[in-house]
Amino acid sequence: MAEISYMTQEGYDKVMAELDLLKTEGRREAAAAIAEAREKGDLSENAEYDAAKDAQGMLEMKISQMDKALANARILDSSELDTSKVTVLCNVRIKNKSNGKEVTYKLTSETEADIKQKKISVNSPFGKGLLGKAVGEIAIIETPRGNLEFEVMHISV
Q: What is the pLDDT of residues 85-134, one digit of tens each?
A: 998 888 999 999 889 999 999 998 887 888 999 999 888 888 999 999 99
Paired residues of 155 in beta bridges: 92
Q: How far apart are CA 124 and CA 54, in angstroms?
A: 29
Helix, strand, coil shares of the chain, percent, nearest 5, are 45, 25, 30
**Percent residues over pLDDT 70 in the chain:** 97
Q: Which domains does the chain have, with CATH numbers?
A: 5-75 (1.10.287.180), 78-156 (3.10.50.30)
**Local confidence band at 22 (pLDDT 50, 70, 90 cut-offs):** very high
DSSP-derived letter for residue 23 is I
Helices 27-38 and 47-71, packing angle to 10 deg: 160
- Kindly report the pTM of this predicted structure: 0.66
d(CA 109, CA 132): 16
